[in-house]
Amino acid sequence: MTLENCPQVLIDRKEIEVAVQRLANEITRDYKDKHPLIIVMLKGSFIFAADLIRRLDFPLEIEFLRLSSYGEKKESSGSVNIVQGLHVPIKDRHVLILEDIIDTGHTISFLMNYLGKMRSASLKLCALSDKPSRRQVPITIDYLGFTVPNKFIVGYGIDWDEKYRYLPDICVIE
Ligand code: PRP
């Protein structure tokens, strides 16, 4: 990776805005009377979550969870670590997870197993983007923004080695 590898826009901010509103409409339809607990996956989902949650005009609570599997590599290691765990019980709560990207599926598979033992009333996944060509474990995505090609995606919260999260569009780097 060199500075010459300039990120190219794949999905621009207007398209993102339209998709986030669509997701907000779907989530409002399904959760407006359920007082859900929304779990935001750090760090990558922070911008997506901030934009989406401001469009949800009904009672909800927000928690943050941080897992890590990539480190400085572009490839998932397959071994997922809990960096910051949950501090509230989810038993009998309607839980909705917000993720920025589903790639191999290892991270969300680990999380679903972890949370799946906690007897929530329901457990669903909303992902901004999905890269199905890379999947190694099957994942059900209940609410999806975009399907993306098998390229390295950065921007709108998503990093490469902690860089590029600040980009307002979803971009690709070679
Ligand atoms: C990224 C991304 C997802 C995960 C997807 O997180 O935010 O959580 O990888 O990859 P997978 O489907 O192959 O498991 P990362 O571990 O890079 O942490 P970050 O959110 O702090 O960037």
Mean pLDDT of 58-77: 79
Q: What per-residue confidence (pLDDT) applies to 121?
A: 98
Residue 130 bears catalytic tag: no
How buried is 150 (Cβ within 10 angstroms: 0-12 exposed, 13-18 middle, 19+ buried)?
Answer: exposed
Distance CA 148, CA 129 (A): 6
Gyration radius from the chain CA atoms: 16
Between vectors from CA 106 to CA 101 and to CA 112, what angle results, nearest 5°? Answer: 90
pTM: 0.93
Catalytic annotation, pick one of 12, 51, 57, 103? 103
- pLDDT tens digit sequence for 28-42: 999 999 999 999 999
**Token match 């099957």: residue?**
138
Distance CA 113, CA 96 (A): 14
Atom of ligand 1 nearest to the CA of 158: 22
> What's the token pair of residue 11?
């999905």
Confidence band for 95, pLDDT divided at 50, 70 and 90: very high
In the chain, the N- to C-terminal Cα span, in Å, equals: 8
Q: What per-residue confidence (pLDDT) applies to 141?
A: 98
pLDDT at 49 exceeding the cut of 80: yes
Distance CA 63, CA 103 (A): 23
- Say if ligand 1 is within 6 A of residue 109 CB: no
Q: What per-residue confidence (pLDDT) applies to 101?
A: 97
pLDDT at 77 exceeding the cut of 70: no
Distance CA 149, CA 97 (A): 23
pLDDT at 2 exceeding the cut of 80: no
Instruction: Give percent of the chain with pLDDT exceeding 90.
Output: 85
Kindly report the protein residue whose alpha carbon is nearest to atom 13 of ligand 1. Answer: 104
Atom of ligand 1 nearest to the CA of 66: 21
E strand map for the chain: 8-11, 37-42, 61-68, 81-84, 94-102, 122-130, 143-147, 152-154, 170-173
> Cβ–Cβ contacts within 10 Å for residue 124, how many?
18
